Amino acid sequence: MSQIKDKDVNDAAPLMDYSYFFMIAESAMKDMHEAMIHRQYDKALEYITLAQIELRMTYNAIQHEKEQSNG
């Protein structure tokens, strides 16, 4: 039998939600840096815009979890 209870699995779910957005943002920032090295400014701007969007999604996921914990 599994030692993981349903509650334990559900408690981990919000962490997965925010970390996904964060990983996408992190990758976009790496790509932005690479584009800047090659002086591909338009691509760099696209990547940093994607990073900003994903970081906002990360913020929202954390804020949502905070509200759920307090409510």
How does pLDDT run across 15-38, given as a tens digit for each residue? 567 889 999 999 999 999 999 999
Inform me whether the pLDDT recorded for 14 exceeds 70: no
Tell whether 14 is covered by a domain: no
Sequence length of the chain is 71
pTM value is: 0.73
Q: Tell me whether residue 51 is in a domain.
A: yes
In a domain, 71, yes or no: no
Tokens 């994903």, located at residue: 54
The structural domain count of the chain equals 1
Q: How does the average pLDDT of the chain come out, rounded?
A: 84
Per the domain annotation, does 19 fall within a domain?
A: no
**Domain around 50:** 27-61
Q: Would residue 52 count as lying in a domain?
A: yes
Residue 71 is predicted with a pLDDT of: 60
Kindly state whether residue 39 falls inside one of the protein's structural domains.
Answer: yes
Burial pattern 13-43, b for ≥16 Cβ within 10 A else e, equals: ebeebbeebbebbeebbebbeebeeeeeeee
Domain membership flag for residue 1: no
Residue 2 above 70 pLDDT? Answer: no
